Amino acid sequence: MAPALLLIPVALASFILAFGTGVEFVRFTSLRPLLGGIPELGGPDARQGWLAAVQDRSILVPLAWDLGLLLLFVGQHSLMATETVKAWMSRYFGVLQRSLYVACTALALQLVMRYWEPVPRGPVLWEARAEPWATWVPLLCFVLHVISWLLIFSILLVFDYAELMGLKQVYYHVLGLGEPLALKSPRALRLFSHLRHPVCVELLTVLWVVPTLGTDRLLLALLLTLYLGLAHGLDQQDLRYLRAQLQRKLHLLSRPQEGEAE
């Protein structure tokens, strides 16, 4: 029992790292673009046009750096999700496989956020500069971002968050209950095989709905949109299962004294 208990701090550390990274991701994708955390060098008049931008090293170099960071994250997130790598990690790390995957994903995302290079002199796809758009568009974007993040947190209620973070696997192992996925219904396993990320639409809203869509933000939105799109293959049966699970969770939350933990 003692060696098994030593797994708990590792799983908790991975969870804390992932939670902190999630909070930082909210700041990176929502608070910074909406509140103008990055100053513009020279203002809008100093920005390059699209044709001039492809010949300007001061724009191409940071874009290439940002692209490399995104490819590092996408590569890690995809490679470690393959069955071959998961089998190898399960062989050598056992029940900590999911926790290590979550921790590596959080570290890769931290690298993207901490070393991201903004391109303030680059061209913009759109920008709300004239009134009343300069006032109302940022406000509308802020409201949509708040709604999107609330929906993201709500959708996570449908899924087993402790299992997604790797905590449940360690908990079940310590208690000798086996693998949590073995207790899932065939409908749940079918959904998980089709769905790489449970909050695709909401994340796309956060990525694209901004008052100013600059060059580096466009790169971020395009690449993650492509990645999210390729990672999904839901059908009507999956959607019916999701709807039924959401209704069940809401019913349990409305009757906490009678509900049972899943």
pLDDT tens per residue across span 157-182: 666 677 778 777 887 777 776 665 55
Is the pLDDT assigned to residue 188 strictly greater than 60?
no
Residue 258 covered by a domain:
no
Residue 257 covered by a domain:
no
φ/ψ of 230, rounded to 5, equals -75, -20
Q: What is the DSSP letter of 220?
A: H
Reported as a single tens digit per residue, the pLDDT across 193-233 is: 545 555 677 889 999 999 999 899 999 999 999 888 776 55
Residue 261 covered by a domain:
no
Q: What is the DSSP letter of 159?
A: S
| CA 112 to chain CA centroid, nearest Å | 12
**Count of domains for the chain:** 1
Residue 140 covered by a domain:
yes
Question: What is the signed CA dihedral for 46, 133, 32, 61, rounded to 10 degrees?
Answer: -30
Q: Average pLDDT in the 235-243 region? A: 53
Measure the CA–CA gap between 63 and 122, rounded to whole angstroms: 10
Is the pLDDT assigned to residue 114 strictly greater than 70?
yes
Residue of 2, 3, 10 whose CA lies nearest to 166: 10
pLDDT of residue 37: 45
Residue 242 covered by a domain:
yes
Whole-model pTM? Answer: 0.77
What's the domain range around 195?
1-252
Residue 70 covered by a domain:
yes
Residue 138 covered by a domain:
yes
- Among the residue ranges 29-43, 85-99, 247-261, the one predicted with the least confidence is 247-261
Asked if residue 112 lies in contact with residue 72, where contact means CB atoms within 8 angstroms, the answer is yes
pLDDT of residue 220: 95
Cis peptide leading into 62, omega within 30 of 0? Answer: no
50-to-60, 120, 149, 228 alpha-carbon distances in Å = 11, 13, 32, 26
80-to-84, 85, 89, 90 alpha-carbon distances in Å = 8, 6, 9, 11
Residue 56 covered by a domain:
yes
235, two tokens: 């059908």
Residue of 37, 10, 15 whose CA lies nearest to 26: 37
Is residue 49 helix, strand or coil? coil
Q: Which helix (H) or strand (E) holds 126?
A: strand 124-127
